[in-house]
Amino acid sequence: MIKNKISFICPVYNGEKFIKTFIKSIDNLDIPKDVSFELLLIDNCSNDDSYLVLSKWIKSYNIGNNNIILKKFNRLKSSYASRNFGVKLASGDVLCFVDIDCVIPNDYLINVHKKIPTNKQKYLIAGNVKLFKNEENNIFEYYDLILGFNMKTYFEQKTGVTANLIVSKNLINEIGGFDEYESGADRNFCKNAIKNYDASFFFYKDILVYHPCRNTLKEHLNKIHRICNGIAKYNKKLPFYSIVFYVFKQIIGSIFQKNQIKQIILRKKIFKKLSIINKFKLVLLIFLLGAYNRIYLAIKTIKIY
C-alpha cells in the first residue's frame, strides 16, 4: 500500500553541465516500497542543450511505476515561477524542492519518508546542504565553504532554501506558492508559512543533498546581486524610519564585519589547507565581498524605495 507520494520539483536553467551528475544520483535513489516517487523537471528559458539532454535521458530511463515529467516554462525567467508551475503539475502530497546542480544521496527518499509527519499537518522540512569542492587552491570555492549554506542557522532564523526544502502540498496550495519576482522568495515563503499559516517547521541534518561550491568571482557577484535585489524589493514595504535604520546598519556592517570574523573563526580548519599567500587572498576576498554585499544592498534599497 502506497502511504506517500513524493514529488521532486527541480527547475533547470542552463544546467547542461550538471545533468549527468544529477541523473546519476537519481538513478541510484533507493525508493521505499510504500513510496511512489515522481520527478518534475521544469526547463526555464535555457539557451543551452539542457532540454534536449534531459529528453534523451528520459527516453532511456526506467523507474518502474514512478514518473518523470519534463516541461518547458517560458512565461517568466524565474526559478520560483518554475517551481510554482511544477507544483501545479505535481501529484504528490509531499513536495521536495531541489536544484539541478545538487547531488542527491541514495538514502534521501528513505530519510524523507521517515521524517514526514504522519498526521498530514501543514509542515516545512529544511534539509541539510553540504558543499563540495572540485578544484584545488581555488579561493572562490574556499570562500563558499566558509560563507555558503549554513542550514542550522537558517533554521534558527525560521527560514530555508529550495536547494533542499520539503513542503506539504496542502500548505503551499493554501499560501499560493512562491513570490515569482523576488530572489530569496524561498526564505520569505518559510517565514510567511510559519508566522501566518501556523506551519510546523523541522530541520533534519540526515535529509542531505550535496551542492558544488561556486568557483568564480562572477558566480559570487551574481549571487550577491540576486539576493540583494530580492531583499531590497522586500524592504520597499517597510516604513521610512525603518529604511533609514536599515541602510545605516548596512553601512556600519560593511566596516565592522562581525559575521565574517565569526565564520573565519568557526571554520579556521579550512585555512590550514592553504598556503600563506592563499590564506591572505581568501581573507581579503571575504572582507571585500562582505563590504560589497552590504554597500550594494544599501544602494539598491535606497533606489527601490
pTM score of the predicted model:
0.89
* CA pair distance 286, 280, nearest whole angstrom: 10
Please report whether residue 145 resides in a domain. no
Please report whether residue 36 resides in a domain. yes
The answer on 287 and 158 residing in a single domain is no
Average pLDDT, integer, range 5-11? 96
Residues 6 or more apart whose Cβ sits within 8 Å of residue 83? 9, 11, 42, 97, 162, 177, 178
CB atoms within 10 A of CB 249: 13
Please report whether residue 117 resides in a domain. yes
Please report whether residue 232 resides in a domain. yes
* CA pair distance 51, 27, nearest whole angstrom: 18
* CA pair distance 285, 158, nearest whole angstrom: 29
pLDDT in tens, 85-131: 999 999 999 999 999 999 999 999 999 999 998 776 899 999 999 99
The answer on 177 and 60 residing in a single domain is yes
* CA pair distance 119, 35, nearest whole angstrom: 16
Give the model's confidence band at 3: pLDDT under 50 very low, under 70 low, under 90 confident, else very high. confident
Q: Which alpha helices (H) appear in 65-160, and where do they start and end?
A: 79-89, 108-115, 139-147, 151-156
The answer on 289 and 197 residing in a single domain is no
Please report whether residue 16 resides in a domain. yes
* CA pair distance 50, 116, nearest whole angstrom: 32
Q: Of 212, 237, 263, which one is at a domain's C-terminal end?
A: 212
Q: pLDDT at position 121, please?
A: 83
Q: pLDDT at position 84, please?
A: 97
The residue to which cell 521536495 is assigned: 96
Q: pLDDT at position 105, please?
A: 97
The answer on 268 and 172 residing in a single domain is no
* CA pair distance 256, 247, nearest whole angstrom: 14
Please report whether residue 207 resides in a domain. yes
Strand partners, 207: none
The residue to which cell 542527491 is assigned: 104
Q: pLDDT at position 62, please?
A: 59
Q: Which domain holds residue 129?
A: 4-139+150-212
Average pLDDT, integer, range 156-184? 90
Residue 217 near residue 140 (C-beta atoms within 8 A): yes
**93 three-state secondary structure:** coil
pLDDT in tens, 148-165: 888 888 888 888 899 999
* CA pair distance 85, 137, nearest whole angstrom: 40
pLDDT in tens, 193-238: 999 999 999 999 999 999 999 999 999 999 999 889 888 988 888 8
The answer on 92 and 43 residing in a single domain is yes
CATH number of the domain enclosing 46: 3.90.550.10
Please report whether residue 110 resides in a domain. yes
Q: pLDDT at position 137, please?
A: 87
Indicate the helix (H) or strand (E) that contains 279: helix 276-304
| Average pLDDT score, the chain | 92
**What is the phi/psi pair of residue 161, to 5°?**
-130, 150
Q: Of 196, 212, 228, which one is at a domain's C-terminal end?
A: 212
Total number of domains in the chain: 2
The answer on 186 and 44 residing in a single domain is yes
Torsion of CA 153, 85, 209, 257, to 10 degrees: -30
The answer on 262 and 160 residing in a single domain is no
Q: Of 212, 235, 253, which one is at a domain's C-terminal end?
A: 212
The answer on 280 and 201 residing in a single domain is no
The answer on 66 and 173 residing in a single domain is yes
Sign, CA torsion 169/171/174/180: negative
Please report whether residue 144 resides in a domain. no
pLDDT in tens, 262-287: 999 988 999 988 999 999 999 999 99
The answer on 92 and 111 residing in a single domain is yes
* CA pair distance 125, 155, nearest whole angstrom: 9
**Residue 266 backbone zone (phi > 0: left; psi -120 to 50: alpha; other: beta):** alpha
Give the model's confidence band at 63: pLDDT under 50 very low, under 70 low, under 90 confident, else very high. low
The answer on 129 and 270 residing in a single domain is no
The answer on 120 and 37 residing in a single domain is yes
